[in-house]
Structure 1
Amino acid sequence: MIFPFFRRAANRRLIERLHGQIVAAARNRILFTEYAIEDTFEGRFEAVTLHAALVLRRLNAMAPPAPEMAQDLVDALFRHFEMALREMGVGDIAVPKRMKSFAEAFVGRGAAYDLALSKGETALAAALARNVYADRANPDRLARYVGAADRALAKAPIEAFTMGPVPFPEPSAIL
């Protein structure tokens, strides 16, 4: 009876650690200074969504329990998005509407990046230009970074996600 409680607690710690690694990669200052992702709430949302989409793509391609981890990760991401909204002072009435917008954006971007990654760097650059940069900046370097991250994650065993570190490339190493 008590073992499921400990299993859930361990899983929650694992997912929170994984979430933390995604957020740390997404907040790498190089992405905002050299890659020109806007350092705004929206820009940070785009960076987190992009990194999360890459991890979710890999987890969903792996054998169980990885797909279940992916769902737990999505749940954790949205808990954190909601907390961020509340910390920004968004009221109780507006939070559900904003969360719905986040969910639609998150799912749409994940699908767009997944499709673009399967089509190649040109399609990926177009998806990044549209979503991350709102067609205001050159997405080529970010496309090379995302491609490198996708290749690194594709080789990563389950332990990279359960124990860390998640093998995101260093953005400054991608030119």
Structure 2
Amino acid sequence: MVFERLFKGRRQSRPAEAVYEAIVAQARHPAFYTDYGVADGFEERFDLLVLHVHLVVRHLTRAGAGDRAQALFDAMFFDMDRSLRAIGVGDMSVGKRVKDMVRAYYGRTAAYDSALQESADDALAVTLHRNIFGADAAAGTAPGEGPSRLARQVRATVAELTAQPVDDIAAGRIRFPDPRSTP
């Protein structure tokens, strides 16, 4: 009985894990780091992952699949917990670090949602510059071509997600636009 409960929950999360794996593959696309100029560090990888997870969560929620969006969110933070443990963060610190990551997720996604409501890419480019190209933004530089191009990629991703059936997305069959083809 106890084992059934443990494994039952695990089986139910597999579709969310497939979605999450597809998103991780997109967020790790080499073009973001080579062509767009995103630094290849832990923070920047996390920020690109947050961006892509949120775009899918946002779409699923708007499409009435809030339970699937929640399962995706849970899969992401289960992975964050597991990853922190794998890199040697002590058990006593993992909970606090994951809590900090959840707060960061909500802060960034609120900024993305606000910027996505604007019709022009300027506000989105500024938000992406601050959150993903943080070192440049902290130095007071204006968004350059990388954040502007990423803003166009985000808009293309939103359009691509909107064109896909929710069941395909929820099964992990997500089509993302190729970041190399965004001008």
Scaled by the length of structure 2, the TM-score of the pair is 0.86
Corresponding residue number in structure 2 for 1:56 = 57
Q: CA deviation at 1:104?
A: 0.7
Output the CA distance in 1 between the equivalents of 2:170 and 2:57: 13
Q: What letter is aligned with 1:33?
A: T
Q: CA deviation at 1:165?
A: 2.1
Output the CA distance in 2 between the equivalents of 1:90 and 1:163: 32
Corresponding residue number in structure 2 for 1:140 = 148
Output the CA distance in 1 between the equivalents of 2:16 and 2:174: 12
Unaligned ranges ≥5, structure 2: 137-142
Distance 1:7 1:94, change over 3 A: closer
Corresponding residue number in structure 1 for 2:140 = none
Name the SS of the counterpart of 1:124 in structure 2.
helix
Name the SS of the counterpart of 1:94 in structure 2.
helix
Per-residue CA deviation, residues 10-46 of structure 1 (Å, 9 max, x unaligned), is 5322111000001000011111111111111111101
Output the CA distance in 2 between the equivalents of 1:152 and 1:7: 33
Output the CA distance in 2 between the equivalents of 1:42 and 1:12: 26
Distance 1:24 1:92, change over 3 A: same
Q: Taking every aligned residue pair, what percent have the same amino acid on both sides?
A: 39
- 8 Å Cα contact 1:160-1:167 kept in structure 2: no
Output the CA distance in 2 between the equivalents of 1:141 and 1:54: 17
Scaled by the length of structure 1, the TM-score of the pair is 0.90
Name the SS of the counterpart of 1:166 in structure 2.
coil
Name the SS of the counterpart of 2:39 in structure 1.
coil
Q: CA deviation at 1:148?
A: 0.5
Output the CA distance in 2 between the equivalents of 1:5 and 1:91: 24
Matched, 1:28 2:36: no
Q: Describe how 1:22-171 pairs up with structure 2 within 5 A.
A: 22-63=23-64, 66-120=65-119, 121-134=121-134, 136=136, 138=144, 139-171=147-179
Q: CA deviation at 1:5?
A: 9.2
Distance 1:76 1:164, change over 3 A: closer
Output the CA distance in 2 between the equivalents of 1:15 and 1:56: 11
Q: What letter is aligned with 1:89?
A: G
Name the SS of the counterpart of 1:89 in structure 2.
coil
Unaligned ranges ≥5, structure 1: none
Name the SS of the counterpart of 2:134 in structure 1.
coil
Q: CA deviation at 1:83?
A: 1.0
Q: CA deviation at 1:164?
A: 3.8
Q: What letter is aligned with 1:125?
A: A
